Structure 1
Amino acid sequence: MKKIVFLFLLVGLFSCKKEAEVLENKIKEDVAFLADDKLEGRQTGTDGEVKASKYIVERYKEIGLQPKGTEDFLQSFSFKPKTDPHKEVEFTKNTDSTITGNNVIGFIDNGAQTTVVIGAHYDHLGYGGEGSLYRGEEKLVHNGADDNASGVAIMLDLARRLQSKNSAAEIKDQNNYMFMAFSGEEMGLLGSNYFSKNPTVDAKSINYMINMDMVGRLKADNTLAVYGTGTSPLFRQTIKSNNEKFTLIENESGVGPSDHTSFYLIDVPVLHFFTGQHEDYHKPSDDADKLNYEGMNLISDYIFDIISDLDDNGELAFRTTKNESEETPRFKVGLGVVPDYLFDGKGMRIDGTREDTPAFNAGLQKGDVVVKLGDSLVTDMMSYMRALSVFDKGDEADISVMRNDQRIDTKVKF
Structure 2
Amino acid sequence: MINRILIFAFFTFLFIGKINAQTETQIYNDVVFLSDDKLEGRKTGSEGEKIAAEYIAKRFKEIGLAPKGNNGYFQDFTFTPKTNPHGEVKFSDTNSNNTITGRNILGYIDNNAKQTIIIGAHYDHLGYGGEGSLYRGEKKQIHNGADDNASGVATLLNLAEKLTKTNTGNNYLFMAFSGEEMGLLGSNYFVKNSTINLENVNYMLNMDMVGRLKEDNALAIYGVGTSPIFKHLVTVYNDNFKLILKESGVGPSDHTSFYLNDIPVLHFFTGQHEDYHRPSDDYDKLNYKGMELISEYIYSIITDLDDNGKLPFRKTKNESEDAPRFKVTLGVVPDYMFDGKGMRIDGVSEEKPAQKAGLQKGDVVVKLGEISITDMMSYMKALSSFKSGDSTTVTVERNGKTTEKKVTF
TM-score by length of 1: 0.92
Structure 1, unaligned stretches of length 5 or more?
Answer: 1-19, 167-171
What is the CA–CA distance in structure 2 between the aligned matches of 1:348 and 1:24, rounded to whole Å? 36
1:309-348 matches, cutoff 5 A: 309-348=304-343
What is the CA–CA distance in structure 1 between the aligned matches of 2:349 and 2:88, rounded to whole Å? 31
Question: RMSD in angstroms over aligned alpha carbons?
Answer: 1.2
What is the CA–CA distance in structure 2 between the aligned matches of 1:303 and 1:105, rounded to whole Å? 20
Counterpart position of 1:6: none
Counterpart position of 2:123: 122
What is the CA–CA distance in structure 2 between the aligned matches of 1:353 and 1:410, rounded to whole Å? 15
**How far is 1:309 from its partner?**
0.8
Per-residue deviation, residues 273-329 of structure 1 (Å, max 9, x unmatched): 000000000010000001010111111110111111111111000000000111111
Task: Report SS of the residue matched to 1:136.
Answer: coil
What is the CA–CA distance in structure 2 between the aligned matches of 1:329 and 1:175, rounded to whole Å? 41
1:114-153 matches, cutoff 5 A: 114-153=115-154
**Which amino acid in the other structure matches residue 95 of structure 2?**
T
Structure 2, unaligned stretches of length 5 or more?
Answer: 1-18
1:52-71 matches, cutoff 5 A: 52-71=52-71
Identity across matched positions, percent:
66
1:12-411 matches, cutoff 5 A: 26-96=26-96, 97-163=98-164, 165-166=165-166, 173-411=168-406
**Which amino acid in the other structure matches residue 66 of structure 2?**
Q
How many residue pairs end up in the alignment? 387
* CA 24–221 in structure 1, closer or farther in 2 if over 3 Å, else same: closer
- Whether contact under 8 Å (1:374, 1:397) holds in the other structure is yes
Deviates more, 1:373-382 or 1:111-120: 373-382
**Which amino acid in the other structure matches residue 346 of structure 2?**
D
**How far is 1:24 from its partner?**
5.6
- Whether contact under 8 Å (2:81, 2:88) holds in the other structure is no
- Whether contact under 8 Å (1:347, 1:379) holds in the other structure is yes
Task: Report SS of the residue matched to 1:131.
Answer: coil
- Whether contact under 8 Å (1:238, 1:310) holds in the other structure is no
**How far is 1:45 from its partner?**
0.5
**How far is 1:397 from its partner?**
1.1
What is the CA–CA distance in structure 1 between the aligned matches of 2:339 and 2:94, rounded to whole Å? 46
Task: Report SS of the residue matched to 1:238.
Answer: helix
Task: Report SS of the residue matched to 1:207.
Answer: strand
Deviates more, 1:36-45 or 1:94-103: 94-103
Per-residue deviation, residues 138-177 of structure 1 (Å, max 9, x unmatched): 11110000000000000000000101x33xxxxx621100
- Whether contact under 8 Å (1:94, 1:100) holds in the other structure is no
What is the CA–CA distance in structure 2 between the aligned matches of 1:141 and 1:361, rounded to whole Å? 27
- Whether contact under 8 Å (1:278, 1:338) holds in the other structure is yes
What is the CA–CA distance in structure 1 between the aligned matches of 2:126 and 2:358, rounded to whole Å? 30
- Whether contact under 8 Å (1:146, 1:214) holds in the other structure is yes
**How far is 1:391 from its partner?**
1.0
What is the CA–CA distance in structure 2 between the aligned matches of 1:347 and 1:58, rounded to whole Å? 46
**How far is 1:331 from its partner?**
1.1
TM-score by length of 2: 0.93
Task: Report SS of the residue matched to 2:162.
Answer: helix
- Whether contact under 8 Å (2:210, 2:270) holds in the other structure is yes
**How far is 1:87 from its partner?**
2.7
What is the CA–CA distance in structure 2 between the aligned matches of 1:144 and 1:85, rounded to whole Å? 23
- Whether contact under 8 Å (1:120, 1:259) holds in the other structure is yes
What is the CA–CA distance in structure 2 between the aligned matches of 1:280 and 1:89, rounded to whole Å? 28
- Whether contact under 8 Å (2:45, 2:102) holds in the other structure is yes
**How far is 1:409 from its partner?**
1.9
**How far is 1:404 from its partner?**
2.0
What is the CA–CA distance in structure 2 between the aligned matches of 1:179 and 1:294, rounded to whole Å? 22
